[in-house]
């Protein structure tokens, strides 16, 4: 469980938590190799978890793309992975509507464009 | 004003830590021991309904819980992106020996207010309880 | 006679005459209630009894899915002409059973001795 403190308005105390189960199944039984680019969330999400476990930063571009997914689960797991891999969030909330997500996603894109490429 | 926000997933293994987080929030807001316990149970039951029914048992689906306590009123919202079925539309539980429906019985009897608001892509449950 | 149990949620069980006494331990919710169900029903099937005593002294919390396990156990035992007794109810558990209107369906006793003494 990770804890981050939002900026607080006067008189308001806010605690935000991300509570997830560790070790979520990344090893499937009878599955071929999964990749973060898989379109099916039932393959994509375990691949995202594997990428975090392996500290696989090559997954980052796809994760940033998936911040705009129509699937709330994909958005949630993508931002969790990006936080784990980079330590950044740029104010992105998976539950914001598309309009509100735009600004944070743009920050992610700009941040990535400044990163040294392998 | 106290605010708690939990971004989590529909994994039943998370029911206990989420319940404890809400109970700690209620305790810090000055609720009685009984009220803390009842609120924890209600959040557990509401989440379990999301896991079992809105998400049909899928464990990696998102759930957003927000709690705030302002001027003696606790408000908890649970947002899911599930099948949008309104649990409160089911017929009330009559026979205690027939499976199902007990979660809603708890919510209705332990919270002062309980409202399901359908969303285009899921559901929001709002629960309120006033500190006595 | 002590009975072997297979789950940490049921750390002990024993038979005494026509009674099966089952000790449950821990907080029970949707995550682990399936395991409790498997264990309890297995014990009931292997040790058919007219009196099943569920000792919940070590259960500080349970949710509706745990209630459902108790109800299913009750139905099975009743089908064989037996009764289910609940003992050692902590306040949270007792409160839930009352809200579920199960307080009068199970026989609730203060402790195991009281449950075994009921005619």
Residue A23 pLDDT > 50: no
Q: How far apart are CA B12 and CA B16, in angstroms?
A: 8
Q: Supply the pLDDT for residue A28.
A: 44
Among the partner-chain residues B13, B37, B45, the one whose CB lies closest to the CB of C92 is B37
Q: Supply the pLDDT for residue A4.
A: 36
- Chain C residues in contact with B13 (beta carbon < 8 A): 31
Q: How many residues does chain C have?
A: 119
Best of A17, A78, A82 to substitute, by most chain B Cβ atoms within 10 angstroms, is: A17
Q: Supply the pLDDT for residue A33.
A: 75
Question: Is residue B74 helix, strand or coil?
Answer: strand
| Mean pLDDT, range B34-41, rounded to an integer | 96
Asked if B51 has any chain C CB less than 8 Å from its own CB, the reply is yes
- Chain B residues in contact with C100 (beta carbon < 8 A): 96, 102, 105
A21–B21: do the CB atoms touch at under 8 Å?
A: no
User: Is there a contact between B125 and B116 (Cβ–Cβ < 8 Å)?
Assistant: yes
A76–B7: do the CB atoms touch at under 8 Å?
A: yes
Question: Is residue B44 helix, strand or coil?
Answer: helix
Q: What is the pLDDT of residues A25-46, one digit of tens each?
A: 444 445 667 899 999 999 999 9
Alpha helix (H) residue ranges in chain C = 33-46, 64-79, 91-99, 112-117
- pLDDT beneath 50, residues of chain C: none
Q: What is the pLDDT of residues C6-23, one digit of tens each?
A: 999 999 999 999 999 999
Residue B94, classified by CB atoms within 10 Å of its CB into exposed (0-12), middle (13-18) or buried (19+), is exposed
| Mean pLDDT, range A99-113, rounded to an integer | 96
User: Is there a contact between C87 and C111 (Cβ–Cβ < 8 Å)?
Assistant: yes
Computed over every residue of chain A, the mean pLDDT equals 83
Residue A24 pLDDT > 80: no
User: Is there a contact between A44 and B36 (Cβ–Cβ < 8 Å)?
Assistant: no
Rounded to two decimals, the ipTM of the complex is 0.93
Q: How far apart are CA A17 and CA B9, in angstroms?
A: 12
Query: How many Cβ pairs within 8 Å bridge chains A and B?
Result: 70
**The token pair that represents C49 in the structure block:** 């009894």
The nearest CA of chain C is from the CA of B99 a distance in Å of 7
- B2-130, what's its fold? Heat Shock Protein 90 (3.30.565)
Q: Supply the pLDDT for residue B91.
A: 80
Question: Is residue C88 helix, strand or coil?
Answer: coil
- Chain A residues in contact with B8 (beta carbon < 8 A): 18-20
Q: Domain boundaries in chain B?
A: 2-130
């Amino acid at each position: 469980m990770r804890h981050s403190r939002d900026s607080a308005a006067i008189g308001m105390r806010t605690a935000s938590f991300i509570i997830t189960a560790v070790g979520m199944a990344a090893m499937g039984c009878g599955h071929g190799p999964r990749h973060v680019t898989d379109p099916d969330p039932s393959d994509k999400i375990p691949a995202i978890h594997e990428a975090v476990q392996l500290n696989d930063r090559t997954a980052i571009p796809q994760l940033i793309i998936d911040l705009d997914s129509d699937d709330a689960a994909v958005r949630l797991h993508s931002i969790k992975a990006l936080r784990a891999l980079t330590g950044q969030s740029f104010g992105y909330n998976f539950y914001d509507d598309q309009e509100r997500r735009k600004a944070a996603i743009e920050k992610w894109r700009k941040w990535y464009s400044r990163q040294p490429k392998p | 004003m106290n605010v708690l926000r939990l971004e989590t997933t529909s994994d039943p293994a998370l029911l206990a830590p989420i319940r404890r987080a809400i109970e700690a929030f209620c305790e810090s807001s000055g609720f009685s021991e009984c009220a803390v316990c009842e609120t924890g149970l209600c959040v557990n039951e509401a989440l379990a309904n999301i896991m079992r029914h809105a998400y049909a048992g899928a464990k990696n689906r998102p759930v957003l819980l927000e709690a705030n306590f302002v001027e003696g009123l606790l408000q908890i919202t649970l947002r899911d992106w599930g099948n949008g079925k309104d649990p409160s539309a089911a017929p009330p539980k009559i026979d205690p020996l027939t499976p199902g429906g007990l979660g809603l019985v708890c919510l209705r009897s332990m919270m002062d207010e309980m409202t399901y608001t359908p969303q285009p892509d899921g559901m929001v449950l709002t629960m309120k309880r006033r500190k006595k | 006679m002590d009975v072997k149990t297979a789950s940490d949620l049921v750390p002990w069980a024993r038979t005494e005459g026509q009674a099966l006494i089952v000790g449950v331990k821990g907080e029970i919710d949707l995550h682990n209630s399936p395991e409790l169900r498997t264990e309890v029903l297995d014990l009931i099937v292997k040790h058919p009894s007219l009196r099943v005593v569920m000792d919940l002294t070590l259960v500080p919390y349970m949710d509706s899915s745990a209630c459902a396990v108790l109800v299913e156990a009750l139905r099975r035992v009743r089908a064989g002409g037996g009764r289910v007794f609940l003992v050692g109810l902590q306040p949270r558990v007792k409160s839930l059973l009352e809200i579920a209107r199960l307080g009068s369906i199970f026989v609730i006793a203060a402790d195991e001795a009281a449950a075994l003494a009921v005619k």
